Amino acid sequence: MNKVISDAKTVGLVLSGGGIRGMAHIGLLKAMEEKGVQVQVVSGSSVGALVGALYANGNSIDEMLQFFKETPLFKYDFFAINKPGFIDTERYFKIFKGYFPEDAFEALRIPLFVVATDLLKGEEKVFSNGKLIRPLLASAALPPVFSPIEIEKTLYADGGVMNNFPKEYVDDKADFIIGSNVSIADEIDKRAIRNSILLAGRVTGLMIYASSHRKLLECDISIEPKELEGIGVLDKKGIEKAFKIGYEHGSRALELTSVSN
């Protein structure tokens, strides 16, 4: 028998990585807001960590979208010098400080678990207390585009490399879990893997998708919009489209269970 969200004492939210496609997470949040769904704990990787942090911070839907629309992806004076990666991720610190002035997990309204990849040990690292901004930057530092972030003498990069759907961190903290996976690996044409680079990207994408999809199926409510496949991971022109897709899928998913207002 399916669980009913209105019976839940604690609701957990898990948000995957996936670049601009992560705007679908915000669409889901809008649908949840309209249905009166309140979350008590959040975990996320990469863009999922960023959206989760904004949500846990109490930012509105419009403020979340504004954050991603106004934060530059490729800016001339952000290019990395003497660092691995094309863009210096450290240059985003000031922008993040504008949204998270206290720079602390403890300042958030609800608990947040942020996953990053320890590049030196080759394992995932979860952050949930202390300084907030550097773990967020690390979690979203997609290699090789963005440079790794150093935290306590260790280099960290995109959390999606090791765990793109960190459901484990809310399993024992919520009796009802909502999941959103935007790392889609739909069927493609053979021309899409016509060279070694595209082949490597496809294989990596399939591995990430397989792990995320398996855990997504364990959630009580979940969305995984296939329509996101047509939106580039770093294509800011897709922000509104991804948001709309997430809202539509979120609204339909929530309609399938009773929700208390």
Q: pLDDT of 83-115, one tens digit each? A: 877 788 998 999 999 999 999 999 999 999 999
Check 16, 43, 139, 158 and give the catalytic one. 158
In total, the chain counts a number of residues equal to 261
Cut 0.85: pTM above it:
yes
Contact yes or no for 148/142 (Cβ under 8 A): no
Active site residue 158: yes
* pLDDT greater than 80 at residue 256: no
pLDDT band at 198 (very low <50, low <70, confident <90, very high): low
pLDDT in tens, 141-156: 988 889 999 999 999 9
CA distance 78 to 48: 23
77 torsion bin: left (phi>0), alpha (psi -120 to 50), beta (else):
alpha
- Collapsing DSSP to helix, strand or coil, 33 comes out as helix
Q: Is the pLDDT of residue 229 over 90?
A: no
Q: Catalytic one among 16, 43, 46, 139? A: 46
- CB burial of residue 238 (10 Å; 0-12, 13-18, 19+): buried
Q: Tell me what the mean pLDDT of segment 158-172 comes to.
A: 95
pLDDT at 80 over 70: no
Share of the chain above pLDDT 90, in %: 67
**Looking at the predicted structure, is the pLDDT value of residue 259 above 60?**
no
Do the Cβ atoms of 27 and 34 come closer than 8 Å? no
Residue 46 a catalytic site member: yes
CA distances from 71 to 33, 78, 95, 196 (A): 24, 12, 7, 32
Confidence band of 81 (pLDDT split at 50, 70, 90):
confident
